[in-house]
Structure 1
Amino acid sequence: MTRAPLQLRRLAIYVVGLAPAASLFWLGVEDRLGPEPIRALEQGLGLWALRFLIACLAVTPLRRFAGVDLLRFRRALGLLAFSYAFLHLAAYVALDFGFDWAAVSADIVKRPYVTVGMASFAILAPLAATSNAAAIRRMGGKAWAKLHRLVYLAALAAAAHFLLVVKSWPAEPLVYAGLTAALLLTRLAPAPSRRRRAPVSA
């Protein structure tokens, strides 16, 4: 059986990746998001943004240490992370503040977790805008790669945003923060020798 074409597999990633957003909005329409539906919607979208950022960070360690090459799908994962971050921000601006930009600006300054979250989004925006072959050609490979290393900072800021938004210290945000830190630290470890690496079946 032949493998599906690359473009078809990427399309499948987008379809599956956006399914949680569709589910969250449908549950909102059906009034099934619990006693605080706006908060549940915003947090659900933000959590999926963080999950896709973590998935992006996992691509390189999987390739280096396990021989699993998902590099061709990293752009799709990154764009999904940005899409969820955008939806998270849009829900915050529209549902919490009714597009009152002055109030939004004041909230960004007043609340540290909002400040950190906005910083993460501000980093992700240019990365999403340059996630295409034309941008690589225009910027040059080295400059493009240097810019896209900022995803590490965006992921750290997103994990910190999740930690700060909760009122206590439940396990979930700590797990995500620890996983983010661990994936970043793997980049400091030397890759195993190719001769010692066990072959990975297709």
Structure 2
Amino acid sequence: MQLSAPSLTERANALARRVPTGLVWVAAVLPFVWLVWAAATGGLGADPVKAIELKLGLWGLQFLLASLCITPLRLIGLNLIRFRRALGVMAFFYIAMHFLAWVVLDMGLRGDEILRDLYKRPYIILGMIGLLAMIPLALTSTNAAIRRLGPLAWRRLHRLAYVAAVVGAAHFVVLVKGWPSEPLLYAAAVAAVLALRLPLFRGSGR
């Protein structure tokens, strides 16, 4: 009997199984290494602090979106679940570095300047809400945390990732003046991922 050729999804899954998860961690750190090198060599333009903040925040949002796409991709048979932890943890890392860049490099750890900036630019509060939502996710990203919480409670807790994605996209939209297309595309991507997750939310209740 003639066997049918493997589908594109089956070939992609076979390739993903051969990729070590450690390689994903290393690849996820490379943008940060490049940023440190570019900052040290003066390759970030006339306002390096703003460039650092923007790149860190953008990479954090990209990794967060990538981690949120893992489950919807399973609806079409693509199984990348092995990489979700790395993507999620690195999303938290870049968003935390984005916050620290603002506090340390931009505000100089001056409390009065931080409060004044929060008053002048309330979209920063949105970003802080996103970071706070991701802290419990990072703290419970281990197998031990899953066993301690139980799979159902762990999945419910990790829905905070969608809160972080929504407020992160809103933070980016309000941050960039003039309504350019890039932040709107990220907002649309977050909305699309949420729409794809709605049937899964209903299913998890059962």
TM-score bin, normalised by smaller chain: 0.7 to 0.9
Q: Using a 3 Å threshold, how does the CA distance of structure 1 residues 58 and 136 change in structure 2: closer, same or farther?
A: same
> Does residue 23 of structure 2 align to residue 12 of structure 1?
yes
Partner of 1:136: 146
SS of match in other structure, 2:137: helix
Cα displacement (A) at 1:71:
1.0
* Residues matched between the structures, number: 187
Gaps of 5+ in 2: 1-13, 201-206
Partner of 1:183: 193
2:70 to 59, 77, 96: 59
Partner of 1:91: 101
Consecutive aligned runs of 4 or more in structure 1 exceeding 6 Å deviation: 3-8
CA separation in 2, counterparts of 1:124 and 1:175? 22
Identity %: 46
Partner of 1:26: 37
Cα displacement (A) at 1:188:
2.5
Equivalent AA in structure 2 for residue 120 of structure 1: G
Aligned positions of 1:75-154 closer than 5 A:
75-154=85-164
SS of match in other structure, 2:46: coil
Q: Using a 3 Å threshold, how does the CA distance of structure 1 residues 182 and 4 change in structure 2: closer, same or farther?
A: closer
Gaps of 5+ in 1: 191-202
- Relative contact order, higher structure (CA 8 A, sep 6+): 1
> What CA RMSD, in Å, does the superposition of the two structures yield over aligned residues?
2.1
Q: Is the 8 A contact 1:75 1:131 kept in 2?
A: yes
Cα displacement (A) at 1:74:
0.6
Q: Deviations over 1:87-122 (max 9, x none)?
A: 111111110111123432443354221000000000
Q: Is the 8 A contact 1:109 1:115 kept in 2?
A: no
